[in-house]
């Protein structure tokens, strides 16, 4: 058969019409499947099966249309059918095609519209809150303290925490961290909205009343979607039996949510923390003080927490949770407030070792050991192993999930870090510290828009979050060099905290704080000095930092004699500090600038190189570049410009956007001694660089 005759025969037998109509109807069915199936939680393989059936059916339809004809008398073989076709019958195919096409296009547009709406909604808050809430998910809101003594607030908080901790061990449940739930009232007005923000289907409300040795605990589990009670119960117990109440409540919740518990998980849920009532009460007091300290960074709160934990351990030396909490509090102080001396760190390690000897599978002890390696010694591989073990034992541990992400960040594994931190955000969607620090990853990669987006989200969660405000100012400065925009980032931060929000990284802005350094960028050195001096100082370490910062600002302002005088006052304090703590790399950076102020350039270069060598980029992808930037600054001002240019060229080609960018190089006075060099000007063009810098 000739090709012309073949196509004419296809037309005569209505094969074309069937093909067009089938294609349109098939497309319609695919649209229905893709838009409707997910609503009924039909798995993806169901959609794939529909597509496969439609494709196979297309071939069958073509074969049938070739061999058979639809006539008023019924279906006949084509050879026996009347060759003359009525217009109405021919138009039927057209009508089918048009109607199906209209429905297909409508479903397609509807699907894209709803997807885009969901995407934009999700962009404004954590992804977990934008998706449908899993059935086996719960948030435990702060328990109301009904005791006549308001000081018993610590006890109500402790009961809530204990129930949450036990449930966190259940892999089949999603349990929201207390950092997110503490933002809410005990009995919020709009429970459904709270559940959506937290990404859960169930809410536990509770109240605790304590009078002497008597305790009453009231709890109610609520289906947040329907605002209906799943169950409610009251427990009247002696204080010594309150731990059993927490176990019972956790078990009731798991049962109500139909969670599948392994034998190990059931054992963890029922295991007592301590048999000593006095030890447990002291532990809860320590937890309360620790939470206050983490919120305010007040040294007194950490001192109180330490004292309560130690008293609890005197009552019960085998109280594993108290040991782990004491170690955690000590390490938190070491990383964020003031470094512990080597003997103090060794004491922390012995506390953790004893806890693990008593309970080898304690998630609290393993996370404390992970932080000993992370915060205590920057041994990231060992830390990662401990955080992995914690998550095996307690899958809903948002802190371990966070720390694993931060370790990946330190190792320069950026994608893995982001994935873990997003998972932590699902478990702790209202913790502003998570997006605040996630922004630092985006900034390191010089993804400025992403960095700003998550910092703004952190500030939406907590308008007074100084970490987020500090980061946002840095990122805006590094992205565009717009000083006024950077200054606006601090508008919501309390005035008294704007200056004290410093990092301990190793460049000049870390010594003064970014808020003060914005004045330096505008070359308003008198304002910078006035603001910095107004901060004041408490204790030897703060006094030393105050003097070092003043010397830096005076040196940048060209006040060489004043800088020298301040440097002479700071020098013995810094040298004494480094005799006591030779591993304090930040104090070493401060000493380098004091040497510059004193005109001792060779000494400045020597100690700046020591500081940078102590934390190389290969060891720490976050802090390492910061100390390299600090070294380049000292080289630029200490008579080693070639080395400074070479170092800057490297730093601009790797993830280091938190500390250096072309926009910032253009305006930062610290680079004035090498600003007019052709090779420095060449750096500012970005022609030698690749990636987001260009």
User: 520 pLDDT exceeds 90?
Assistant: yes
Kindly state the percentage of the chain with pLDDT values over 70. 78
Alpha-carbon gap, residue 39 to 57, rounded angstroms? 26
What is the location of CATH 1.25.40.10 in the chain?
278-394
Alpha-carbon gap, residue 513 to 498, rounded angstroms? 8
Quote the pLDDT of residue 518. Answer: 93
Residue 196 or 690, more confident: 196
User: 366 pLDDT exceeds 90?
Assistant: yes
| CATH fold group of domain 499-693 | 1.25.40
Quote the pLDDT of residue 668. Answer: 97
- DSSP letter at 500 equals T
Quote the pLDDT of residue 44. Answer: 52
DSSP one-letter string for 522-588: TT-HHHHHHHHHTT---HHHHHHHHHHHHHHHHHHTT-HHHHHHHHHHHHHHHHHHHHH-TT-HHHH
pLDDT in tens, 455-471: 999 999 988 888 889 89
Alpha-carbon gap, residue 176 to 583, rounded angstroms? 38
User: 292 pLDDT exceeds 80?
Assistant: yes
Which residues does residue 223 pair with via DSSP β-bridges, in sequence order? 202, 228
Quote the pLDDT of residue 114. Answer: 43
Quote the pLDDT of residue 86. Answer: 46
Q: How confident is the model at residue 500 (pLDDT cuts 50, 70, 90)?
A: very low
Alpha-carbon gap, residue 13 to 19, rounded angstroms? 11
Nearest to 323 by CA among 368, 271, 270, 383: 368
Q: How confident is the model at residue 270 (pLDDT cuts 50, 70, 90)?
A: confident
Residue 267 or 90, more confident: 267
User: 363 pLDDT exceeds 90?
Assistant: yes
- Strands 68-71 and 137-140, bridge-based pairing: unpaired
Q: Which helix (H) or strand (E) holds 139?
A: strand 137-140
Alpha-carbon gap, residue 300 to 336, rounded angstroms? 14
Instruction: Determine contact, residues 169/270, Cβ cutoff 8 Å.
Output: no
Quote the pLDDT of residue 212. Answer: 83
Q: Phi and psi dihedrals of 530, rounded to 5?
A: -65, -45
DSSP one-letter string for 29-52: HHHHHHHHGGGGT--HHHHHHHHH
Q: Where are the beta strands (DSSP E) in 2-127?
A: 68-71, 74-77
pLDDT (average), residues 210-230: 88
User: 673 pLDDT exceeds 90?
Assistant: yes
pLDDT (average), residues 31-59: 61
263 Cβ neighbours under 8 A, 6+ residues apart? none
What rounded mean pLDDT belongs to the chain?
84
Quote the pLDDT of residue 424. Answer: 95
What is the location of CATH 3.40.50.10070 in the chain?
137-272
Nearest to 657 by CA among 615, 611, 622: 622
Quote the pLDDT of residue 51. Answer: 67
Angle formed by the axes of helices 585-597 and 560-580, to 10°? 150
- 3-state SS, one letter per residue, for 225-253: CCCEEEEEEEEEEEHHHHHHHHHHHHHHH
| CATH fold group of domain 137-272 | Rossmann fold (3.40.50)
Q: How confident is the model at residue 182 (pLDDT cuts 50, 70, 90)?
A: confident
- Strands 144-145 and 137-140, bridge-based pairing: unpaired
Quote the pLDDT of residue 297. Answer: 74
Kindly state the percentage of the chain with pLDDT values over 90. 55
pLDDT in tens, 626-652: 999 999 999 999 999 999 999 999 999
Residue 401 or 7, more confident: 401
User: 26 pLDDT exceeds 50?
Assistant: yes
Phi-psi region at 273: left, alpha or beta (left = phi > 0; alpha = psi -120 to 50): alpha
Quote the pLDDT of residue 204. Answer: 93
Of 2-11, 156-165, 466-475, 512-521, the poorest mean pLDDT is in 2-11
User: 483 pLDDT exceeds 90?
Assistant: yes
User: 582 pLDDT exceeds 80?
Assistant: yes
Quote the pLDDT of residue 273. Answer: 84
User: 31 pLDDT exceeds 70?
Assistant: no
User: 570 pLDDT exceeds 90?
Assistant: yes
Specify the CATH class of 278-394 in words.
mainly alpha
The pair of three-digit structure tokens given for residue 582, joined into one six-digit string: 């030779």
pLDDT in tens, 600-614: 999 999 999 999 999
Quote the pLDDT of residue 3. Answer: 53
Quote the pLDDT of residue 87. Answer: 43
Residue 224 or 418, more confident: 418
């Amino acid at each position: 058969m000739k090709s012309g005759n073949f196509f004419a025969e296809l037309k005569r037998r209505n094969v074309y019409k069937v093909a067009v109509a089938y294609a349109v109807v098939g497309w319609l069915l695919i649209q229905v499947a893709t838009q409707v199936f997910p609503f009924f939680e039909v798995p993806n393989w169901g959609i794939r099966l529909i597509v496969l059936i439609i494709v196979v059916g297309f071939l069958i339809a073509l074969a049938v249309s070739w061999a058979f004809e639809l006539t008023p008398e019924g279906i006949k073989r084509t050879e026996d059918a009347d060759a003359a076709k009525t217009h109405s019958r021919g138009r039927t195919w057209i009508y089918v095609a048009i109607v199906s096409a209209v429905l297909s296009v409508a479903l397609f547009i509807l699907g894209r519209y709803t997807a885009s709406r969901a995407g934009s909604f999700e962009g404004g808050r954590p992804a977990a809150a934008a998706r449908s809430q899993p059935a086996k998910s719960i948030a435990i809101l702060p328990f109301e303290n009904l005791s006549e003594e308001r000081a018993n607030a610590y006890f109500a908080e402790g009961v809530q925490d204990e129930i949450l901790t036990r449930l966190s061990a259940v892999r089949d449940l999603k349990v929201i961290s207390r950092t997110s739930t503490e933002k809410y009232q005990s009995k919020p007005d709009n429970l459904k909205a709270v559940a959506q923000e937290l990404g859960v289907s169930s809410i536990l409300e509770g109240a605790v009343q304590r009078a002497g040795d008597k305790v009453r605990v009231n709890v109610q589990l609520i289906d947040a979607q329907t605002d209906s009670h799943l169950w409610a119960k009251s427990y009247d117990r002696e204080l010594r039996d309150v731990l059993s109440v927490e176990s019972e409540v956790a078990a009731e919740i798991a049962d109500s949510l139909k969670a599948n518990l392994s034998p190990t998980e059931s054992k963890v849920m029922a295991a007592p923390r301590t048999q000593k009532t006095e030890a447990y009460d002291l532990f809860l007091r320590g937890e309360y003080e620790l939470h206050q300290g983490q919120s305010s960074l007040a040294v007194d709160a950490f001192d109180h927490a330490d004292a309560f934990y130690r008293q609890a351990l005197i009552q019960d030396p085998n109280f594993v949770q108290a040991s782990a909490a004491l170690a955690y509090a000590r390490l938190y102080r070491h990383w964020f407030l003031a470094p512990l001396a080597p003997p103090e760190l060794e004491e922390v390690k012995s506390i953790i070792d004893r806890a693990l000897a008593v309970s080898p599978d304690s998630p609290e002890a393993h996370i404390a050991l992970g932080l000993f390696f992370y915060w205590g010694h920057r041994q990231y591989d060992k830390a990662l192993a401990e955080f992995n073990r914690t998550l095996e034992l307690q899958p809903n541990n948002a802190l371990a999930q966070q720390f694993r992400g931060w370790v990946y960040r330190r190792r320069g594994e950026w994608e893995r870090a982001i994935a873990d931190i997003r998972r932590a955000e699902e478990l702790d969607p209202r913790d502003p510290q998570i997006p605040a620090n996630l922004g630092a990853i985006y900034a390191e990669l010089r993804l400025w828009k992403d960095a700003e987006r998550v910092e703004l989200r952190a500030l939406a969660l907590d308008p007074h979050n100084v970490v987020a405000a500090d980061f946002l100012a840095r990122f805006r400065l590094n992205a565009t060099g717009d000083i006024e925009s950077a200054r606006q980032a601090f508008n919501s931060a309390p005035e008294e905290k704007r200056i004290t929000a410093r990092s301990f990284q190793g460049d000049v802005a870390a010594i003064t704080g970014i808020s003060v350094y914005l004045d330096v960028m505008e070359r308003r050195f008198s304002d910078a000095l006035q603001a910095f001096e107004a901060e004041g100082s408490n204790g030897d370490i703060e006094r030393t930092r105050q003097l070092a910062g003043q010397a830096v600002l005076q040196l940048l302002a060209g006040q060489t004699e004043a800088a020298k005088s301040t440097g002479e006052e700071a020098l013995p304090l810094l040298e004494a500090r480094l005799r006591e703590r030779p591993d304090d790399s930040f104090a070493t950076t401060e000493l380098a600038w004091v040497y510059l102020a004193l005109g001792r350039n060779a000494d400045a270069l020597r100690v700046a190189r020591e500081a940078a060598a102590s934390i190389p980029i290969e060891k720490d992808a976050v802090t390492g570049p910061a100390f390299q930037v600090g070294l380049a600054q000292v080289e630029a001002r200490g008579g080693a410009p070639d080395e400074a240019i070479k170092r800057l060229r490297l730093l601009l080609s790797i993830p280091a956007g938190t500390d250096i960018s072309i926009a910032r190089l253009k305006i930062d006075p610290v680079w004035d001694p090498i600003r007019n060099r052709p090779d420095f000007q060449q750096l500012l063009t970005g022609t030698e660089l690749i990636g987001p810098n260009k």
